[in-house]
Amino acid sequence: MSYRYRIEESTQQNIERIAGEQIAKARSDLTPERIADFDGIHQARKRFKKIRSVFKLVRPALGKHYPELNGMFREAGHSISEWRDLESMVTACDNLREYISDATAQDALSQLQQDFAAKLEEKTKFTDRFLEHIERIDAMLYEADSRIAELNLGAQGSMPVKDGLLRVYRAGRKEFARAGEDPASAQFHQWRKREKDLWYQVRLLHDAWPRVLKGLAVALHELANTLGDDHDLALVSNQVTEASQSAGNSRGGYTALQEDISRRKSVLQRNAYLSGKRVYAERPKAFAARFENYWQAWEQQQSNAQT
């Protein structure tokens, strides 16, 4: 797979290859044909997150280049987040239906879903403003690709990804602890962002020990999905609150729907927290030391293959 760190390559070669491939795919995602059904925008945002995770993994090596490069892709992702949120809310409504038994709540949910779908369709119309926005993102991607190709990082020594991996794991562990103390949706969303960084980085380092890291990547992916479902329901919940204020006689349906959403979010958050206890069981330095052992064995394996 292309989204893999290769130990036989230098840090700079890895950055150029991985980011370059993701940039090329993102530019392809943002063509009119791919945008038409929204999937292109969804995939492009994932590419941006993958690229930022590479930068975070090798952050010490990037040095002064990190803030600018990371910022370019962060802003690109934020600039199309409205499309992602609307699509996610449409899907969240589908996923929520099996947890609702009240007919009035079902009616309220159907109305909301129709509104989300209509707004999404309106936003993806090929207006001049929309196409200009996509063109600006494409120009940024072209510029970023050029800047990455001009990097001159030099040799990085043994395990150049250790400090970046440690930073991401430590940040995720801290946000996990905060989420346990304060179950507000905003706190769980902050944890989700840091946990997804770790998921992408474990995927990058898969070849250090595939038998173990594949399982960890699967667990992190499942946790990311659970946290994502919780976040999407928080977005829907905000819209329920707004809709109920002008619902008149049908306000009871929105009240019942809000209660069902709260119950479902509580289940998701409990499940996420239990998974988080397993993922973040180690202290950060112990986690990094374990990966350092994987790395050293990986290096030896590579050396043996060449002799």
d(C-alpha 254, C-alpha 178), whole Å: 30
Which distant-in-sequence residues (6+ apart) come within 8 Å of 196 by Cβ? 49, 53, 224
Q: How far apart are CA 88 and CA 238, in angstroms?
A: 14
| Of 15, 21, 16, residue with least CA distance to 1 | 21
Q: Which CATH class is domain 11-306?
A: mainly alpha
Query: Do 14 and 164 meet the contact criterion of CB atoms below 8 Å apart?
Result: no
Helix, strand and coil percent figures for the chain, each rounded to 5: 85, 0, 15
Position 212 scores a pLDDT of 96
* In contact, 194 and 168? CB cutoff 8 Å: yes
Phi, psi of 37 (to 5 degrees): -105, 15
What pLDDT score does 270 carry? 96
List the end-to-end C-alpha distance of the chain, in Å, as a whole number.
Answer: 25
Q: CB burial class (10 A; 0-12, 13-18, 19+) of residue 226?
A: buried
Asked whether the beta carbons of 56 and 78 are under 8 A apart, the reply is no
Residue 264, token pair as written in the block: 């479902």
How confident is the prediction along the chain (307 residues), in pLDDT tens digits per residue?
589 999 999 999 999 999 999 999 999 999 888 877 678 888 999 999 999 999 999 999 999 999 999 999 999 999 888 888 998 999 999 999 999 989 999 999 999 999 999 988 887 776 777 788 889 999 999 999 999 999 988 777 778 999 999 999 999 999 999 999 987 778 999 999 999 999 999 999 999 999 999 999 999 999 999 999 999 999 999 999 998 887 665 677 899 999 999 999 999 999 999 999 999 999 999 999 999 999 999 999 988 888 7
Residue type for 250, please? S
Cα gap 59→236, rounded to integer Å: 35
Query: According to the 3-state scheme, what is the secondary structure of 53-111?
Result: HHHHHCHHHHHHHHHHHHHHHHHHHHHCHHHHHHHHHHHHHHHHHHHCCCHHHHHHHHH
The domain limits of the chain are 11-306
- What's the whole-model pTM score? 0.93
- Distance between CA atoms of residues 148 and 127, nearest Å: 32
Q: Give the CA dihedral 211, 212, 214, 217, nearest 10 degrees.
A: 180
Q: How far is CA 50 from CA 16, 194, 246, in A?
A: 13, 13, 41
Q: What is the pLDDT of residue 247?
A: 60
Per-residue pLDDT, 78: 92
Sign of the four-CA dihedral 200, 162, 178, 176:
positive
Side-chain half-sphere exposure of 95, counting CA atoms within 13 A: 18
